[in-house]
């Protein structure tokens, strides 16, 4: 496994890619979408092999569901690439351009990052989305998917490489790492000479490994231990609707709510109400002492529960004495993703918005909206939960950096 | 040395600081400026102690010069703080705010990063600048200066802490680490639970240590192996003026030019001209074979020279066969800081601007302009040479992150 060679090929392909204009890039994206459909049979066959392997290994159902492709999912990948072709190209946009008193013209222009590496788990659609977004933003991409989806990922990436080759472009604008061992992943994280940015997409363990080992600047994405706080002054219908939506509409994703904090003054009324609604939808309730008293069938929450992202039909409930305690609890245990307050009180809403430390903070709305598509940015490559570079849903713009372009006519510094 | 305690105090102080309005922050900055002058004697006395220690240790003169304070330099620090008080406060600015079709109002607002740690070498003015910029942008700051300037740094930081205390604000909005050992610095780099961003300000060795060891997101600043390329179509006066300015106006800083590439078609004419000008100004010339032939007194350059930032009266010269070779050489050896072309040819200028990978790329101007003050951004905390988050001179805006603020009225996701 010659990773340095992969890095060099990517670097060189990224230089070629950075010079392409938007029309050319859109043409490749549309041809890639078409080619995905044309090669559907091949991709599904490769996927079947992966799925059968996974079943043999008795991997859990939720994982197999995410791994499995069908015509509908391939269609979605195709539509994703078409949609990316319609988005504005950020490359070449000027953020500012001004003439200084000495006559220097100083412009700040968006340029591609260069080479982006993405380490992802299970879902093969990430291969198509990542290629589309990186390609449109002018970046060569190195993909390293999970070992369970290797056949599918290779089949998908080969479709794109064929399209590039047929257009006399370097196929190395997209590469996939065939060796899915941990050792190679670790080596990849130290390839800072060739890779400009590393984006891990997966669970807590993957993120932690990357933070600890990577010498490449990283963007942490997508771990979401999201909270909803129901304030003393609340509308019960909004509270129930939002909690049920945030918890159950799609529990396996990062913007689903995992924790529910309730103001003690409304605990007697609201706990039985929400308890019934959650239990009816087969949500396991874990709770503190008061919760256990008020909701029959709730289990006791442990300290570990407060920092766990379940990604499942489980919700932990806690009674807090006021807004301050709610804010303190959230800022202590959250993963800086999405947090919501249900309140009819103006000052409490503003305080929550100001003092909660997270990528997205909501008043009276479901945390499930934290998503590039929902926010109207088109596609997204992930949701950043860090503070540097990008925070929240990341689209094309977040896959670029800037460059100062200075036009002079002989200026020297005094 | 209880670093975790320092981290906790900073985190808590940062929450207090993030709530202050601009008027309050400006008041503190102006009082801090005044207090620096009032405590001038103390600071100079502490500095004298540091300087005497350094002289005893036979540390080189350039270093002692950077370490030494006098009334003029304290005045500059004071003026720096006053200037920062006059800059726009980025905190609370909205980057975008829109109403989605479902009625959700989605705003993206600038907020402080939280806790910023700065590891810096020698120059004590960094303590004052860093405090001013972090304070104005709402960030608590943890300073870790070099051991040679510890007495000076403590004296400066104590002035600011007194001002904060007198205003009933947490003095821990600025802290200095008293233990200047390497072990404590290493420990600091892993304090990701409390520190949001780490900015190393120093030489290559410091940056490398940070990249290798830090689990905190970092911004790399200021290593500058900057090039000037003199194209075949050039104006000799512009070329000489710019090269001499970029090399000798202040050779010890990161935006000074270190390398000179010359098109082979003009080598016979231009080498003797620029050689004479450089040698007259006591610049040591290191060069390739042709340079050695044309400039009497030049020394032979080694492979190591091409990647070295001298920060001194030394310049390495190389003849290249065309623009492509110049671009290839620069992209191979540069530190992504500032690069310039001297040319009268339109297409060559555009090609250089497009293909050079650096924070700032110049046509017919000195690389010395890469500076927050020169670009008109007010003060700067450093010059980022990385691609994530910020690239080029970093001011107040670059010390903030963003937060999505979403106002709903019961919206749930379909």
Backbone angles phi, psi at A362, to 5 degrees: -115, 145
Q: Please give the ipTM for the structure prediction.
A: 0.93
Nearest CA in chain B to A403: B359
Specify the pairing of strand B338-342 against strand A360-365: unpaired
A191 touches chain B (CB under 8 A): no
Is B72 touching A (CB cutoff 8 A)?
A: no
Chain A residues 349-408 with CB within 8 Å of chain B = 353-355, 357-366, 368-370, 374-376, 386-389, 391-392, 401-408
* Partners of B317 in beta bridges: B260, B287
Strands (E), B283-389: 284-287, 299-300, 314-320, 338-342, 360-365, 382-384
Residues of A in contact with B375 (CB under 8 A): 100, 106, 404
- Examine the domain organization and report whether A319 and A396 are in the same domain: no
Whether residue B328 sits in one domain with residue B213: no
Which residues of chain B are modeled with pLDDT < 70?
1, 122
Looking at the fold, whether A149 and A21 belong to one and the same domain comes out as: yes
Residue numbers in B near A413 (CB within 8 A)? 245, 249, 366, 368-369, 374
Answer for the pair B402, B108: CB distance below 8 angstroms, yes or no: yes
Residues B51 and B170 in one domain: yes
Rounded Cα–Cα distance for residues B195 and B25 (Å): 21
Instruction: Write out the residue range of the structural domain in which residue B262 sits.
Output: 226-369
- B380 assigned to some structural domain: no
Please choose, from the candidates B110, B108, B104, the residue with its C-alpha nearest in 3D space to the C-alpha of residue B407.
B104
Please give the helix or strand (H or E) that residue B1 lies within, else none.
none
Q: Reading across the β-sheet that carries A174-176, which strands appear in turn?
A: A174-176, A140-144, A115-120, A197-201
What single DSSP character describes residue A297? Answer: T
Decide: helix, strand or coil at residue B118.
Answer: strand
With b meaning 16 or more CB within 10 Å and e meaning fewer, what string describes B338-364?
A: bbbbbbeeeebbebbbbbbbbbbbbbb
Range 10-39 of B in CB contact (< 8 A) with A: 15, 19
Could A386 and B361 be called an inter-chain contact, meaning their C-beta atoms sit closer than 8 Å? no
Of B368, B401, B406, the CB nearest to A413: B368
Q: Tell whether B197 is within 8 A of chain A (Cβ).
A: yes
Report the gap between the CA of B139 and the closest CA in chain A (Å).
13
Q: What is the pLDDT of residue B43?
A: 98
Q: CA-based angle A103:B261:B256, to the nearest 5? A: 55
Residue A375 forms part of a structural domain = no
Question: How many separate domains does chain B show?
Answer: 2
Cα–Cα distances (Å) from A260 to A277, A302, A329, in that order, read: 13, 15, 11
Cβ-based contacts under 8 A for chains A and B: 183
Residue of B363, B391, B408 lying closest to A402 (CB–CB): B391
Q: Minimal CA–CA distance to A119: which of A20, A188, A205?
A: A188
Q: Hunting for tokens 């709305």 — which residue is that? A: A365
Dist. CA A282–CA A300, nearest whole Å: 17
At residue A380, the pLDDT reads 86
Domain membership of residue B379 (yes or no) is no
Tell me the whole-structure pTM to 2 decimals: 0.92
CB-based contact B357 A114, cutoff 8 Å: yes
Q: Is the dihedral of CA A128, A133, A138, A142 positive or negative?
A: negative
- DSSP3 helix / strand / coil % (chain A, rounded to 5): 45, 20, 30
pLDDT computed for residue B11 by the predictor? 96
**In the prediction, which pLDDT does B25 show?**
98
Residue A192: both structure tokens together: 């800072």
Q: Contact at 8 Å (CB) between A298 and A283?
A: no
Q: What is the pLDDT along chain A (414 residues), one digit of tens a residue?
A: 699 999 999 999 999 999 999 999 999 999 999 999 999 999 999 999 999 999 999 888 878 888 999 999 999 999 999 999 999 999 999 999 999 999 999 999 999 999 999 999 868 989 999 999 999 999 999 999 999 999 999 999 999 999 999 999 999 999 999 999 999 999 999 999 999 999 998 888 888 899 888 989 899 887 899 999 999 999 999 999 999 999 999 998 899 999 999 999 999 999 999 999 999 999 999 999 999 999 999 999 999 999 999 999 999 999 999 999 999 999 999 999 999 999 999 999 999 999 999 999 999 999 999 999 899 877 789 999 999 999 999 999 999 999 999 999 999 999
Flag whether A114 is in a domain.
yes
Same domain, A157 and A294: no
User: CB-based contact (8 Å) between A53 and chain B?
Assistant: no
Any chain A CB within 8 A of the CB of B113?
yes
With tokens 């977004």, the residue in question is A133
A295: enclosing H helix or E strand: none
Smallest Cβ–Cβ distance between B413 and the set A98, A369, A407 belongs to A369
Instruction: Pick B100's closest partner by Cβ from A108, A376, A405.
Output: A376
- DSSP E strand boundaries for B164-223: 174-176, 197-201
Do B181 and B36 share a domain, yes or no?
A: yes
Percent composition of chain B: helix, strand, coil (DSSP 3-state, to 5): 45, 20, 30
Whether residue A66 sits in one domain with residue A125 = yes
**Chain A touched by B191 (CB under 8 Å):** no
Concatenating the DSSP letter of every residue in A201-223 gives ES-HHHHHHHHHH--S-B--B--
Cα B351 to Cα B361: distance, rounded to the nearest angstrom? 11
The residue among A327, A365, A377, A394 with the most chain B CBs within 10 A of its CB, best to mutate, is: A365
B135 and B244 in one domain? no
- Closest-CA residue of chain A to B237: A410
Q: Is residue B293 part of a domain?
A: yes
A-chain CB neighbours of B354 within 8 Å are 19
What residue of A is the nearest CA neighbor of B352?
A405
Of B100, B402, B407, the CB nearest to A363: B407
Asked if residue A378 is part of any domain, the answer here is no
> Are the Cβ atoms of B387 and A104 closer than 8 angstroms?
no
Query: Per residue in A6-39, is it b (16+ CB within 10 Å) or e — as a string?
Result: bbebbbbbbbebbebeeeebbebbbbbbebbeeb
Residue A49 is assigned to a structural domain of this protein:
yes
In this structure, are strands A314-320 and A299-300 parallel, antiparallel, or unpaired? unpaired
pLDDT at B252: 87
Q: Residue B214's closest chain A neighbor by CA? A: A212
Q: Which CATH number does the domain housing residue A147 bear?
A: 3.40.605.10
CA distance B59 to chain A (A): 30
With respect to residue B277, please indicate whether it lies within any of the assigned structural domains. yes
Of B197, B355, B363, the CB nearest to A387: B197
A219–B contact, CB cutoff 8 A: yes
Whether residue B298 is found in the same domain as residue B403: no
Q: What is the CATH number of the domain that holds B240?
A: 3.40.309.10
Same domain membership, residue B337 and residue B250: yes
B349 shares a domain with B395: no
The answer to whether B403 contacts A197, with C-beta atoms less than 8 Å apart, is: no
Q: How far apart are CA B319 and CA B59, in angstroms?
A: 37
Judgement on whether residues B392 and B336 belong to the same structural domain of the protein: no
């Amino acid at each position: 496994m010659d990773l340095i060679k992969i890095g060099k090929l990517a670097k060189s392909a990224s230089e070629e890619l950075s010079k392409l204009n938007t029309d050319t890039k859109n043409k490749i994206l549309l041809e890639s979408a078409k080619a995905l459909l044309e090669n559907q049979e091949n991709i599904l066959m490769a996927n079947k092999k992966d799925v059968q392997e996974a079943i043999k290994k008795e991997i859990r159902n939720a994982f197999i569901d995410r791994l499995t492709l069908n015509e509908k999912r391939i269609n979605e990948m195709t539509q994703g690439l078409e949609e990316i072709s319609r988005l504005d190209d950020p490359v070449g946009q000027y953020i500012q351009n001004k003439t200084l008193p000495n006559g220097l013209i100083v412009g700040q222009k968006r340029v591609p990052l260069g080479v982006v590496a993405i380490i992802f788990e299970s879902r093969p659609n990430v291969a198509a989305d990542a290629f589309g977004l990186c390609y449109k933003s002018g970046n060569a991409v190195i993909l390293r998917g999970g070992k369970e989806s290797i056949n599918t990922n290779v089949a998908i990436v080969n479709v794109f490489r064929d399209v590039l080759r047929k257009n006399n472009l370097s196929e190395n604008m997209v590469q996939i790492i065939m060796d899915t061992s941990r050792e190679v992943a670790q080596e990849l994280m130290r390839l800072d000479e060739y890779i400009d940015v590393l984006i891990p997409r997966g669970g807590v363990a993957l993120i932690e490994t990357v933070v600890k080992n990577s010498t490449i600047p990283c963007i942490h994405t997508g771990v979401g231990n999201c909270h909803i706080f129901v304030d003393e002054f609340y509308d019960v219908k909004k509270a129930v609707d939002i909690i049920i939506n945030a918890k159950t509409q799609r529990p396996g994703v990062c913007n689903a709510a995992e924790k529910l904090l309730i103001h003690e003054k409304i605990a007697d009324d609201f706990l039985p109400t929400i308890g019934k609604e959650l239990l009816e939808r087969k949500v396991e309730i874990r709770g503190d002492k008061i919760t256990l008293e008020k909701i029959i069938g709730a289990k006791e929450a442990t300290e570990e529960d407060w920092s766990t992202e379940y990604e499942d039909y489980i919700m932990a409930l806690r009674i807090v004495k006021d807004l301050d305690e709610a804010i303190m609890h959230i800022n202590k245990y959250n993963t800086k993703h999405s947090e919501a307050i249900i309140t009819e009180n103006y000052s409490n809403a503003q305080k929550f918005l100001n003092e909660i430390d997270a990528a997205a903070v909501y008043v009276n709305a479901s945390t499930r909206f934290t998503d590039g598509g929902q926010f109207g940015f088109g596609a997204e490559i992930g949701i950043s939960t860090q503070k540097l570079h990008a925070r929240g849903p990341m689209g094309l713009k977040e896959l670029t950096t800037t460059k100062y372009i200075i036009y002079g006519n002989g200026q020297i510094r005094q």
